Structure 1
Amino acid sequence: MLFLTAASIGVCAGMMRSAFSVAFIAFLIVATFALATLTSPGPASYLNLLIAILGYNAGLINFLAGLLLIRRLRAA
């Protein structure tokens, strides 16, 4: 579920078509994890952060692949 949520955030960030928004959302993912780690009473798993970052990147890649596919289908 974490991967799918991060992937959908990646697609939404890509739809904004702004390099600042893509970088800022990536920063917010890490900052949210850091804040959750600091406020949680127990240890945090860095695997969840890795899954979120991979999902975000996968969402961005899927958005770009979709744009390229649509452009090719329109040209044909």
Structure 2
Amino acid sequence: MIARTDFRVKGTRLLIEFDGLKKYRAAEGQDVLEKEKLREDDCRRLRWDFERFIWANLDSPALIHRRLTEGVQRCAEAA
């Protein structure tokens, strides 16, 4: 296993990450960010795509819907 993500859109290669951003602000935040970037790069090399959301995005269901729809479309076009 290369990575564990928060969600996967079933039937697609779209992975969903939800971050509160606090982990990046801690003393080890730069290290956490670098590891996460490398993990995502590994997944992308295996043709997985990502959408990332933060708490503030939850105030905009239309934004979430649009980004998920676009992400699913990207995955379908890349297949």
TM range (shorter): 0.3 to 0.5
**Structure holding more strand per residue:** 2
Higher relative contact order (CA 8 A, sep 6+): 1
Normalization by structure 2: what TM-score?
0.34
Normalised to the residue count of structure 1, the TM-score between the two structures is: 0.35
Larger Rg: 1
